[in-house]
DNA sequence: AATACGTGGTA
DNA sequence: TTACCAAGTAT
């Protein structure tokens, strides 16, 4: 037995894949795998989209730019990432400059991109590369994997794209392309190991970085989630799902649980000169290290107005701003009631509001702060008609 | 293994 | 409006 994958579109492929998982070193004779890379690379050479982090064809990509872009692109679209990437490389042209910057500055530049642990790990990673690697990126997947914020996908992506190592980054695009190519019906995330193995069988001996990017481009532009453009696809004659007419239903996913609702009260404390009271959140966890408007905890019930007044950061004439702010996080929905008050310069703050993690920020400086989108919403809501 | 962790776009 | 989705990682 040599770990041959059966790909017949009749539902027996999973047996072969399971064997391959246990013996990833086994030789794979896959009747269609051989043809995939050349067809895909030919398509990539014609259709390849330029992006600010990509090198010109035939040139070597800058590892710093590849790394930065890959971290930003985790769970985030190219369209959203592009302006952030441009701003980052303009401000921090290399790892050392990023490592020499205060975390909060990096968080402020990251504000709005989401998943802020990425920014904290980005900063930690830059420091580690300077301190432990002389300011140069490790050149292989295994060493990259040891760095903060770099997981299996990103390690393989950097190793292949920036250093030409023959490894196989598998992201959501690759999972979708491969699940259709081989008609893998097993739902995600259960099928992840199988899809990884299958993807690895497709990776060519040369141009592995181009191949990786081609797979992702294909998933992003042709082999799309809802209505894939099979007529435009360079792999359409090899695609088992298409032969079976089930491409639009793959990959299958186990349904996600529902998002609970949480509620809270946020306080816009306005000093007489217009400065707003902000508070730094704990370094880890949700929106870790970011700034916020002081607020109650976010729980399953809305605190009473009486409780809210007891918690307010200062005594004052708190006015309940009409309507509420709703925001959707990945794992819960938040509804915030906003109270506003003008606080005199000499007004005493409550104990918790008088801590170092709280600070008054002038209105004009709000844009440059490390405020997550939800807090920008809250502030805009609280300051409307002012 | 399952859950925590953001945001904006699209149907 | 609801629901799903997008170049995942850490614990």
* DSSP states along A121-176: HHHHHHHHHHHHHTT---SSHHHHHTSTT--HHHHHHHHHHHH--------HHHHH
A266, β-bridge pairs = A295, A338
Q: What pLDDT is stored for residue A95 in this prediction?
A: 98
Last residue of some domain: A249, A280, A315? A249
Residue A157's CB is within 10 A of a number of other CB atoms, namely: 27
Residue A217 and residue A77 in one domain:
yes
- HSE (CB half, 13 Å, CA atoms) of A98? 29
Is the residue at A5 inside a domain? Answer: no
Q: Output the six-digit token pair for A66.
A: 């590849």
Residue A284 and residue A162 in one domain:
no
Q: A56, A70, A86, A175: which is the annotated catalytic residue?
A: A70
The answer to whether A298 CB sits below 7 Å from nucleic acid chain B is no
Last residue of some domain: A249, A272, A303? A249
Separation of CA A76 and C1' B8 in angstroms? 9
The answer to whether A229 CB sits below 7 Å from nucleic acid chain B is no
Q: What is the CATH number of the domain that holds A270?
A: 3.90.79.10
Residue A315 and residue A374 in one domain:
yes
Last residue of some domain: A223, A249, A275? A249
Residues 141-170 of A with CB under 7 A from strand C: 148-155, 157
Mean pLDDT, chain A cut into blocks of 10 residues (386 residues total): 30 32 40 84 94 89 98 96 98 98 98 98 98 98 98 98 97 96 94 95 95 96 94 95 95 90 97 96 97 96 91 93 96 96 90 87 97 98 88
Residue A32 and residue A121 in one domain:
yes
Q: What pLDDT is stored for residue A1 in this prediction?
A: 26
Q: What is the CATH number of the domain that holds A101?
A: 1.10.340.30
Residue A199 and residue A58 in one domain:
yes
Residue A43 and residue A191 in one domain:
yes
Residue A235 and residue A272 in one domain:
no
Say if CB A37 and CB A202 are below 8 A apart: yes
**Closest C-alpha to A276, from A350, A352, A371:** A371
Separation of CA A256 and C1' C2 in angstroms? 14
Residues 314-343 of A with CB under 7 A from strand C: 328, 330
**Closest C-alpha to A138, from A119, A121, A162:** A162
- The number of folded domains in chain A is 2
Residue A62 and residue A141 in one domain:
yes
The answer to whether A226 CB sits below 7 Å from nucleic acid chain B is yes
The answer to whether A303 CB sits below 7 Å from nucleic acid chain C is no
Residue A80 and residue A111 in one domain:
yes
Is the residue at A1 inside a domain? Answer: no
Is the residue at A2 inside a domain? Answer: no
Residue A338 is part of which domain span? 261-382
Q: Which residues contact A61 (CB under 8 A, 6 or more apart)?
A: A53, A54, A55, A161, A162, A209
Continuous H helices in chain A: 13-22, 33-47, 63-73, 78-91, 95-99, 103-110, 117-133, 141-145, 152-163, 172-181, 192-202, 208-221, 240-244, 305-311, 373-382
Task: For residue A258, indicate whether it is catalytic.
Answer: no
Residue A313's CB is within 10 A of a number of other CB atoms, namely: 24
DSSP summary character for residue A190:
T
Q: Which residues contact A13 (CB under 8 A, 6 or more apart)?
A: A5, A6, A7, A182, A183, A184
**Closest C-alpha to A147, from A126, A125, A115, A118:** A125
Residue A182 and residue A292 in one domain:
no
Q: What are phi and psi of A148, to 5 degrees?
A: -65, 135
The answer to whether A252 CB sits below 7 Å from nucleic acid chain C is no
Residue A153 and residue A281 in one domain:
no
């Amino acid at each position: 037995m040599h770990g041959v994958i059966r790909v017949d579109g009749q539902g027996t492929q999973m047996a072969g894949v399971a064997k391959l998982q246990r013996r990833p070193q086994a030789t794979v004779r896959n009747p269609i795998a051989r043809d995939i890379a050349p067809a895909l690379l030919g398509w990539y050479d014609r259709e390849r989209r330029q992006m600010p982090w990509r090198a010109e064809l035939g040139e070597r990509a800058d590892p710093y730019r590849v790394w930065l872009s890959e971290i930003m692109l985790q769970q985030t679209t190219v369209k959203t990432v592009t302006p952030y990437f441009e701003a980052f490389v303009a401000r921090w042209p290399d790892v050392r400059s990023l490592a020499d910057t205060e975390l909060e500055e990096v968080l402020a530049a990251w504000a709005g991109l989401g998943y802020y642990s990425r920014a904290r790990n980005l900063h930690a990673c830059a420091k580690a590369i300077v301190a432990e690697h002389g300011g140069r990126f490790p050149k292989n997947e295994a060493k990259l994997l040891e760095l903060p914020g770099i997981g299996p996908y990103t390690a393989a992506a950097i190793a292949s794209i920036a250093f030409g190592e023959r490894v196989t980054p598998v992201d959501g695009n690759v999972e979708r392309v491969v699940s259709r190519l081989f008609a893998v019906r097993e739902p995600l995330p259960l099928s992840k190991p199988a899809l990884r193995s299958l993807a690895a069988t497709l990776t060519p001996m040369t141009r592995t970085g181009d191949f990786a990017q081609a797979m992702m481009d294909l998933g992003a532009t042709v082999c799309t989630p809802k209505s894939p453009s099979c007529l435009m696809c360079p792999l359409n004659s090899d695609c088992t799902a298409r032969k079976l007419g089930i491409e639009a239903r793959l990959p299958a996913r186990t349904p996600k649980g529902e998002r609970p609702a949480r509620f809270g009260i946020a306080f816009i404390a306005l000093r007489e000169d217009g400065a707003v009271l902000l508070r730094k959140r704990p370094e880890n966890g949700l929106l870790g290290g970011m700034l916020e408007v002081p607020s109650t905890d976010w729980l399953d019930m809305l605190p009473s107005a009486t409780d809210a007044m007891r918690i307010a950061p200062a005594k004052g004439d708190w006015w309940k701003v009409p309507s509420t702010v709703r925001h959707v996080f990945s794992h819960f929905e938040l509804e915030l009631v906003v109270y506003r008050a003008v606080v005199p310069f000499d007004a005493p703050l409550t104990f918790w509001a008088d801590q170092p993690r709280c600070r008054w920020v002038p209105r004009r400086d709000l844009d440059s702060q490390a405020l997550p989108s939800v807090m920008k919403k809250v502030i805009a809501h609280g300051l409307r008609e002012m």
